[in-house]
Structure 1
Amino acid sequence: MSEQFVLETRNLVKEFKGFVAVDDVNLKIHQGHIHALIGPNGAGKTTVFNLLTKFLSPTRGQILYQGEDITSLKSAAIARKGIVRSFQISAVFPHMTALENIRVALQTAEGTSFSFWKSGNSLHKLNQRCMELLDSVGLTEFANTTTVELAYGRKRALELATTLAMEPTMLLLDEPTQGMGSEDVDQVVELVRKAAEGRTVLMVEHNLSVVSKLCDRITVLAQGAVLTEGDYQTVSADPRVREVYMGSADSGERGGSSPAPQAEAAQ
């Protein structure tokens, strides 16, 4: 029954002028899980994310959230349901401070984005919540730093804080460690783990080391279709997964024991 899944897709298909980008995909995301969507370039990962958040409409199939068919809803309605997406490219305002970025997100969540006449007490209350969110991602000391001056890893942490300001029940993370060095990657792994407390997370991620540390379940896409699904041990040992990534079961990442997905270009 769909009630046991927070998010479910049924026979999801997306075609672009005859090209099948997503081919009969059935996802079942368990409540409270961190679930990864992985695959080589062109596998359809980003397209699936765009379908789930309604930046694209499916050609066929259904999307269910907490048992409700949300296939026909618009992206804003999806966000109001509690499904919030963090984009692959940082979506913060570069010339505002970290605190100001989060305040904008909080005002958006409250539906008061344009209430510039809000009282001082009201803004103070928002500022308190801003500081709590900054503290949750380790950015307290950068509250008044202009975002453009932040290191790349800290910008991604700020983006996560602005996403959490929307009070999501389900968090969709699109390549959260893209372009990061190992030190920043380790920091983001911990941030995602913390952000996942009390939430469900679906993430597109190219780094299998990150996936192995974080994810309860992994779905592998290849040529728009589900190739296999399971925990990390099961998926990383599957010769079909190695084949689609590397063309050889002998090639791998971090010791040669795992396939090495590459970041997928947006489709």
Structure 2
Amino acid sequence: MANSSAVLSRTETAQDADNVLVAEGLTKVFAGFAAVKDVNLAVRRGSIHALIGPNGAGKTTCFNLLTKTLAPTSGKIVFDGEDISSLRTSQVARRGLVRSFQISATFPNLTARENVRVALQSSYGTAYQFWRSLRAVAPLNSRADELLEQVGLANSRDTPAAELSYGKKRALEIATTLALEPRVMLLDEPTAGMGHEDIEPITDLIRRAAVGRTVLLVEHNLSVVSTLCDKITVLQHGQVLAEGNYAEVSNNPAVVTAYMGGVDE
């Protein structure tokens, strides 16, 4: 019996090491309404993991809890073995847990390169020093250009963000997220509002960006999820309804019922 317990303990330790982001009993209550209730989530290191569910399922609230944009009512969040439940958003971002937002968050009057350079200033310890001369931040240009090339914006580096197409703005946002050198990158609806012509390039970009890091995304487009994600967690009414790979989840009768019965927000 003792040997069996020891084997179980070693197995649990190995599983803990494999999971870079873990939520245990995560709950958020707003004025008596539980938007997220007792959610357990384990994101495997190096994977692309999706949170999906019908509108109003609690996906974005869960995302906000994981990145500490919201404080949980109860539960525990562990990032790379460290309990981050009581930390602030900026503190978890400095540890490598970095998110993007559903609405593109770029500086419209800055060029693509300047947008990435602002993000790089945070990584290089010169954040908020906007009074510094262009010569002082010029060493960041080469890294900014590398990141823009990675996301397919090399030819748009001098274009103001406001003049970029919607798909290119989302690519720019991913570049600024990568500039913060995330170990885990959280993407909120990365293909939301995109035309069909932009979805495949952004999907390919996310796949490339995931090399050497972990990605957790909220995504409505199930065709994107099916081709991109290793594991899927389905939420409904703020609780985990199902979990598994796409084939397992898409064939789950409870998931089919949840989507067929979904109500638009």
Q: TM-score, normalised by structure 1?
A: 0.91
Q: Which residue of 2 aligns with 1:52?
A: 66
Which blocks of at least 5 consecutive residues in structure 2 are unaligned? 1-11
Structure-2 separation of matches of 1:182 and 1:46: 23
Structure-1 separation of matches of 2:65 and 2:148: 30
Structure-1 separation of matches of 2:148 and 2:23: 34
- 1:226 has 2:240 as partner: yes
What is the letter of the counterpart of residue 223 of structure 1? Answer: H
Q: CA deviation at 1:113?
A: 2.2
- 1:180 has 2:194 as partner: yes
Runs of 4+ in 1 over 3 A off after TM superposition: none
User: What is the aligned-residue identity percentage?
Assistant: 58
- Residue among 148, 160, 179 paired with 1:134: 148
- Residue among 114, 119, 128 paired with 1:114: 128
Q: Which residue of 2 aligns with 1:92?
A: 106
What is the letter of the counterpart of residue 33 of structure 1? Answer: S
Structure-2 separation of matches of 1:180 and 1:14: 30
Q: Secondary structure at the match of 2:216?
A: strand
Structure-1 separation of matches of 2:22 and 2:137: 39
Q: Which residue of 2 aligns with 1:251?
A: none
Which blocks of at least 5 consecutive residues in structure 1 are unaligned? 248-260
Q: Which residue of 2 aligns with 1:190?
A: 204
Whose helix fraction is larger, Structure 1's or Structure 2's? Answer: 2
Q: CA deviation at 1:128?
A: 0.4
Q: Which residue of 1 aligns with 2:39?
A: 25
Backbone CA RMSD of aligned residues: 1.4
Q: CA deviation at 1:182?
A: 1.1
- 1:152 has 2:163 as partner: no
Q: CA deviation at 1:119?
A: 7.1
- 1:211 has 2:232 as partner: no
Q: Secondary structure at the match of 2:69?
A: coil
Q: CA deviation at 1:109?
A: 1.9
Matches within 5 A, 1:52-71: 52-71=66-85
Q: Secondary structure at the match of 2:22?
A: strand
How big is each residue's C-alpha offset from its partner over 1:215-266, in whole Å with a ceiling of 9 and x where there is no partner?
000000000000000000000111111111113xxxxxxxxxxxxx89x86x
Structure-2 separation of matches of 1:48 and 1:171: 15
Q: Which residue of 1 aligns with 2:115?
A: 101
What is the letter of the counterpart of residue 67 of structure 1? Answer: G
Q: CA deviation at 1:117?
A: 2.8
- Residue among 33, 39, 57 paired with 1:43: 57
What is the letter of the counterpart of residue 143 of structure 1? Answer: R
Q: CA deviation at 1:4?
A: 2.2
Q: Secondary structure at the match of 1:124?
A: helix
Q: TM-score, normalised by structure 2?
A: 0.91
Q: Secondary structure at the match of 2:141?
A: helix
- 1:143 has 2:165 as partner: no
Structure-1 separation of matches of 2:99 and 2:246: 24
